């Protein structure tokens, strides 16, 4: 893991800790999150998984940016209820995006860190490369309608990459389409190949830059 990515992981976790966990230092009733934190991502098809990952990781970043910007304007020592609630939501969205990755081959003691790193790197890759229109990615109807060609539709690869979404054949995630263990294992390799590319138009990468400035890292 490069110094840059250790830094990204550090500042992402540091901001979540600052905005969420600090609340334990003062008495305050638990807040109700106006989203469904237990709702799983749609991993019923390659299309569902791709949409779920992109939507949730982007919502996580956007929500955390809102929380961070608001916190910068506050005068108190502790984050406001509003800021902490946005940070909680950001964490829920992030975990939902991470759930789209097959982490089954990562040792339990490393799964938390590796899951975080792989999710952040996959977002960084997608922020730089073109991915197909969602309508061009096999959906659940295509998958279910082609059961006799199950081998063909058990894996979908993003064009011009080696990033695969593969149907899980056994275990607790059986039947789900997840970014494959091979993709997770090679994610740093893939990132290194695209890191020099510019961000795509419309991508908001201000979160990392803002945190680096804020923490003087």
Quote the CA–CA distance of 127 and 112 in Å, as a whole number: 23
Residue 32 is predicted with a pLDDT of 46
pLDDT of 217 over the 70 cut: no
Which of 19 and 28 is assigned the larger pLDDT?
19
Percent of the chain, pLDDT > 70? 75
Q: How many CB atoms lie within 10 A of CB 66?
A: 16
> What predicted TM-score, i.e. pTM, was given to this entire model?
0.81
Cβ–Cβ under 8 Å, residues 125 and 163: yes
Pair of tokens at residue 89: 């939501």
Let me know how long the chain is: 217
Residue 9 is predicted with a pLDDT of 57
Q: Which of 65, 168, 174, 190 is nearest to 117 (CA)?
A: 190
Question: pLDDT tens-digit profile of 29-82?
Answer: 444 445 787 889 999 999 999 999 999 999 988 888 888 888 888 877 778 888
Helix (H, G, I), strand (E, B) or coil at 53: helix
Quote the CA–CA distance of 179 and 199 in Å, as a whole number: 22
Which of 88 and 16 is assigned the larger pLDDT?
88
Which range in 70-79, 101-110, 198-207 is most confidently predicted, on average pLDDT? 101-110
What are the counts of helices (DSSP H) followed by strands (DSSP E) for the chain? 8, 3
Quote the CA–CA distance of 104 and 163 in Å, as a whole number: 17
Residue 19 is predicted with a pLDDT of 53
Long-range Cβ contact pairs of 8-12 (< 8 A, separation 24 or more): 8/120, 8/208, 9/113, 9/116, 9/117, 9/120, 10/217, 11/208, 11/211, 11/212, 11/215, 11/217, 12/116, 12/120, 12/208, 12/211
Mean pLDDT throughout 136-150? Answer: 79
Segments forming the whole domain that contains residue 153: 3-215
The number of distinct structural domains making up the chain is 1
pLDDT of 1 over the 70 cut: no
Residue 100 is predicted with a pLDDT of 98
Mean pLDDT (the chain) is 81
Residue 3 is predicted with a pLDDT of 46
DSSP assignments along 94-112, one per residue: HHHHHTTB--TTS-HHHHH
H-helix segments, 77-196: 81-98, 108-126, 140-145, 181-185, 187-194
Strand partners for 178: 166
């Amino acid at each position: 893991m490069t110094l840059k990515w250790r830094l990204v992981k550090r500042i992402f976790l540091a901001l979540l800790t600052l905005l969420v966990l600090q609340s334990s230092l003062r008495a305050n009733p638990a807040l109700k999150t106006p989203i469904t934190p237990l709702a799983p991502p749609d991993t019923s098809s390659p299309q569902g998984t791709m949409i779920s990952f992109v939507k949730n990781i982007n919502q996580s970043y956007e929500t955390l940016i809102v929380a961070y910007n608001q916190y910068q304007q506050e005068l108190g020592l502790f984050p406001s209820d509003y800021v902490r609630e946005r940070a909680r939501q950001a964490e829920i969205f992030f975990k939902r995006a991470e759930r789209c990755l097959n982490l089954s081959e990562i040792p339990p003691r490393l799964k938390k860190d590796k899951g975080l790193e792989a999710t952040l790197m996959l977002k960084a890759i997608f922020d730089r490369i073109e991915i197909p229109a969602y309508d061009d990615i096999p959906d659940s109807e295509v998958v279910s309608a082609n059961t006799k060609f199950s081998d063909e539709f058990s894996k979908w690869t993003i064009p011009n990459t080696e990033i695969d979404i593969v149907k899980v054949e056994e275990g607790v995630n059986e039947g789900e389409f997840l970014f494959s263990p091979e993709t997770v294992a090679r994610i740093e390799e893939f990132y290194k190949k695209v890191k020099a590319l510019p961000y795509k138009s419309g991508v908001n990468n201000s979160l990392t830059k803002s945190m680096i400035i804020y923490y003087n890292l």
